[in-house]
Amino acid sequence: MKLKSLIIACLLIFMYGCSKNDKSEDTTPTSSSISENYDRSFTLTLNDGKNLNMQRNSEGFDIEDNNKAILFTFFTTWCPPCKAEIPHLVSLQDKFKNELRIIGVLMEERTADEISEFIKMYNINYSIAYGESNFFFAKALGEVVGIPYSVLYYPNGKYATHYIGLVLEEMLESDIKKVIS
């Protein structure tokens, strides 16, 4: 009987503690206040010496001087699926060079020389973005959950679709054809 009373008393104390109203104000930023920071413009630095100015909007991104569909693929140099995807991206860039721009978004810190060596090693024919803005871009998307992670946009910057992990070239090609037609 005493054990039963002790258990009930402990439960009541526990329940009272859980329901206690704490008057202190929560200063943790909400997701909406954090996301507002990602609406500012930013610049991706590309390996060819050019920059790509972007700004998030309600339908995707405003991308400066863009008249082609864009496939951004987030990757690292040490990721086996990322490296396996490269020949397919090279093939797609060749096939759709007049309608599509592929940009690899490097999600690790590398020097320009290391990036150049990686490009040569894998015969990459598309641009590679590197630097701190890449991490900002990933956060602005709000859902880069793993690598490789690719996002396809219409020429006007409107979001089309995204892919998580290694994607079949035929699937990418099918979606690219829809976006450029």
pLDDT score of 140: 86
Residues of the chain with pLDDT under 50: 9-36
Decide: 168 and 89 in contact? Cβ < 8 Å: no
| pLDDT digit string, tens, across residues 128-175 | 999 999 998 998 888 677 899 999 999 999 999 999 999 999 999 999
Encode burial over 44-77: b for 16+ CB neighbours within 10 A, e otherwise: bbbbeeeebebebeeebbebeebebbbbbbbbeb
CA distance 15 to 20: 9
Encode burial over 20-33: b for 16+ CB neighbours within 10 A, e otherwise: eeeeeeeeeeeeee
**Best CA proximity match to 112, nearest among 42, 54, 48:** 48
pLDDT score of 17: 41
CA distance 108 to 99: 28
Pure H helices in 20-79: 31-36
Other C-beta atoms within 10 Å of 137: how many? Answer: 24
The torsion angles phi and psi of 103, rounded to 5 degrees, stand at: -130, 120
| pLDDT digit string, tens, across residues 152-162 | 999 999 999 99
- Please count the residues of the chain: 181
Q: Which CATH superfamily is domain 45-180 in?
A: Glutaredoxin (3.40.30.10)
Instruction: Say whether pTM exceeds 0.85.
Output: no
pLDDT score of 89: 98
